[in-house]
Amino acid sequence: MFVTGATQATEFENIRSIIPNHFLLVPGVGFQGGSLEDVSKHGMNKDCGLLVNASRAIIFASEKEDFAAEARVIAQEYQLEMSRYLSSM
């Protein structure tokens, strides 16, 4: 597995030309400016090949008592979005 940041998603095409079948751990989606759509478009391989980290968006979902509910909503939104990209493979 290799770590590749999400903020320059078009570079995934170059990376995939070197390591087409490896898994990529992808931090930087969400608060850091990376797009799950762009990462999926440019970084997926035939087996998906991505483990996307969006932890800041989830752990900073709320500073109030509703944190658990808000964090759940954000996590589900990412999961649903990724499901759409996976179903189009």
| pLDDT tens-digit map of 51-82 | 998 888 888 888 899 999 999 999 999 999 99
pLDDT of residue 15: 97
Paired strand residues for 29: 34
pLDDT band, residue 49 (cuts 50/70/90): very high
Q: SS3 for 12-59, per residue?
A: HHHHHHHCCCCCEEECCECCCCECHHHHHHHHCECCECEEECCHHHHH
pLDDT of residue 16: 96
pTM for the whole thing? 0.83
